[in-house]
Amino acid sequence: MFEKLKHRSLRKKIEHNLNKRDVSQINSELNTLGFLVDEATFQDFEQLYNFSEYFTLQPKDVKVFSFLEVKRKLPSLRHNQLHNKDFNWKGELHNQNAKEFIDKQFDVLVGYYNTKNDFLDAMVAASNANFKVGLAGSDPRLFDLLIDLDLKDLAAFKTELKKYLTVLNLSLIHI
């Protein structure tokens, strides 16, 4: 019962955050890039950090935050990880690292998942990112751009992302 209540609360928070989103800085220059990833479908985070070279960003300007449905029993060194237990039944987030990630003013935030995930959707909706990119299959209300590619084809995603950001004048400085 609490899980249903938690998901309902998360959907209400998503609606609230969608209604209050500020889109005035949507075409700002690309200096920071963030990724929200579902670990159930993608685990090779090093490839995401390599986006810094491709977009000529500093490695410190690319951040990856992941979601794992159930916390593993084995200890993990990964600090940028979110679990379903990090949300209470009211849909409130109780993970300090996740709150800092949400509050960071990314120029582009990529939701690198293509399934319905209320937890990641809540993170995207609450994020202060200027421009939000997702994959087809995600909630289209959350993202400014949806790219229809296979999740496992990261090279094609990288190329498509650069193409669209160039067209939208988000990455002209770094090309």
Architecture of domain 2-174 in CATH? 3-Layer(aba) Sandwich (3.40)
Asked whether residue 34 carries a pLDDT value surpassing 70, the answer given is yes
**What does the alpha-carbon distance between residue 139 and residue 137 come to, in Å, rounded to a whole number?**
7
Q: For residue 125, name the pLDDT band (cuts at 50, 70, 90).
A: very high
The structural domains of the chain, with segments of one domain joined by +, span 2-174
Quick one: pLDDT at residue 71?
65
Q: Where are the alpha helices (DSSP H) in 2-153?
A: 2-19, 45-49, 51-54, 96-103, 118-126
The mean pLDDT of 2-17, rounded to a whole number, is 79
Residues 39-85 pLDDT 10s? 989 988 899 999 999 988 999 999 999 998 876 655 555 668 888 88
Q: Three-state DSSP class for 82?
A: strand
The mean pLDDT of 168-174, rounded to a whole number, is 57
Other C-beta atoms lying within 10 Å of the C-beta of residue 21: 16
